């Protein structure tokens, strides 16, 4: 089976499941950054050196290798696929923009359900990423550290007794651990509490980013909350801190949703129904508006105001409406106006199909 199947389907299999508080926490991701000893980090490596890294790391978990927990693995060499397929992998959060655009001898190793993404020659030699639906930060960490142990048995990591794991960016030195949750927080936005909450988050060693990580914009009321500190804390302290803070944010969002229902039920219902109507019948829709309308519909379904599409459908639409996937489906080379027409068509057809099923 061709590895390009990973770019032909918008929804990763792991996203069809649900985890704790999945009405608010869309997904959990844990990533560890590692580098090999005695080889320059990717930014300074020659082509030959980065090729050596690629050969060493992809052989640790070879093509078709199987573990009981993760299933079989498949290696995609990025130089062997087109720019559009790389863009889709970014939109599905399976690789980073940096790996897609800037790496030499870059590759990604994916398991069957795409819950494991192992990036080679990104900013660091090795980045092991594990993804779970809902709020499952401890489970994601357990899988990531188990895979990390598999690599550490076969290769020597760059490690310092005082500083911990050495990485290209100083903000990753130490544990090399970045744990994050993608949260849907529309009620906090509507009740104008979001800035206060996010300001408090930054005071406890966490940071807030948009849907595609550092430098990206928070659209559709989706916010990525992750640890900012990797040095001076143990992995368990980082995971526990994120877990504790996210539980508090979840509680604030639940309270804000209750307040909206109690104080503005008619207005919220009207907003949800208008967005559902626009998504169901619009002939042209821009990306930002689509993200906001999808956020309204997701909230309406979660609050029981609308018998709309399931969470998995909403997750799928969030990917299907991105530029790369639209071009993958309808044809490369579309201008923004063409994409707006195709985006509207795709949403209409998807909602109509789900309504019949």
Residues within the annotated binding site?
A: 27-31, 93, 127, 178-182, 209-214
Distance separating alpha carbons of residues 121 and 125, to the nearest angstrom:
4
Q: How many CB atoms lie within 10 A of CB 175?
A: 24
Annotated binding residues for ATP, written as ranges, equal 27-31, 93, 127, 178-182, 209-214
- Alpha carbon distance 189, 193 (integer Å): 6
Quick one: three-class SS letters along 168-224?
Answer: CCHHHCECCEEEEEEEECHHHHHCCCHHHHHHHHHCCCEEEEECCECCCCCCCCEEE
Which secondary-structure segment (H or E) carries 73?
strand 71-77
Reduced DSSP (H G I as helix, E B as strand, rest coil) percent helix, strand, coil of the chain, to 5: 50, 20, 35
Q: What is the C-alpha to C-alpha distance for residues 349 and 279, in angstroms, rounded to an integer?
A: 10
Contact assessment for residue 210 and residue 217, using Cβ atoms and an 8 Å cutoff = yes
Cα–Cα distance measured from residue 263 to residue 186, given in angstroms and rounded to the nearest whole number: 16
- Asked if 182 and 213 count as a contact pair (C-beta separation under 8 A), the reply is no
- Any bridge partners for residue 66, and if so which? 72
CA distance 115 to 30: 11
Tokens of 193: 């509490």
Rounded Cα distance between 354 and 347, Å, is: 11
3-state secondary structure (DSSP) of residue 326 = helix
Q: What are phi and psi of 289, to 5 degrees?
A: -65, -40
Cα-atom radius of gyration of the chain, to the nearest Å? 21
CA gap 31, 212 in Å, rounded: 14
| Residue 69: Cβ within 10 Å count | 11
Inter-residue contact 184 to 178 (CB < 8 Å): no
């Amino acid at each position: 089976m061709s590895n390009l199947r990973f770019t032909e389907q918008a929804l990763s299999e792991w996203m069809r499941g649900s985890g704790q508080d999945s009405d608010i926490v869309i997904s959990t991701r844990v990533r560890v950054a590692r580098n090999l000893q005695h080889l320059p980090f990717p930014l300074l490596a020659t082509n030959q050196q980065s090729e050596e890294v690629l050969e060493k790391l992809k052989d640790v978990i070879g093509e078709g290798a199987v573990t009981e927990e993760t299933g079989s693995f498949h290696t995609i060499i990025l130089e062997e696929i087109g720019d559009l397929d790389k863009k889709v992998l970014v939109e599905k959060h399976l690789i980073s923009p940096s790996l897609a655009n800037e790496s030499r001898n870059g590759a990604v190793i994916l398991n069957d359900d795409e819950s494991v993404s192992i990036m080679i020659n990104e900013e660091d030699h090795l980045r092991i990423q594990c993804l779970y639906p809902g709020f499952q930060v401890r489970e994601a960490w357990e899988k990531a550290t188990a895979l990390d142990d598999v690599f550490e048995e076969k290769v020597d990591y760059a490690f310092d007794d005082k500083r911990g794991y050495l990485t290209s960016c100083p903000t990753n030195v130490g544990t090399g651990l970045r744990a994050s949750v993608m949260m849907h927080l529309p009620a906090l936005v509507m009740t104008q509490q979001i800035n206060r909450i996010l300001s408090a988050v930054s005071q406890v060693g966490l940071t807030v980013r948009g849907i595609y990580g550092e430098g990206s914009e928070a659209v559709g009321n989706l916010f990525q909350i992750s640890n900012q500190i990797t040095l001076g804390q143990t992995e368990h302290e980082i995971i526990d801190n994120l877990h504790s803070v996210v539980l508090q944010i979840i509680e604030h969002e639940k309270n804000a949703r209750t307040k909206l229902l109690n104080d503005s039920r008619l207005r919220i219902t009207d907003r949800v129904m208008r967005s559902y109507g626009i998504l169901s019948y619009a002939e042209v829709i821009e990306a930002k508006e689509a993200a906001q309308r999808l956020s309204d519909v997701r909230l309406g379904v979660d609050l029981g105001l609308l018998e709309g599409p399931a969470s998995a459908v909403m997750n799928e639409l969030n990917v299907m409406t991105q530029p790369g996937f639209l071009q993958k489906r309808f044809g490369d080379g579309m201008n923004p106006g063409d994409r707006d027409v195709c985006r509207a068509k795709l949403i209409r057809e998807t909602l109509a199909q789900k309504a019949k099923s």
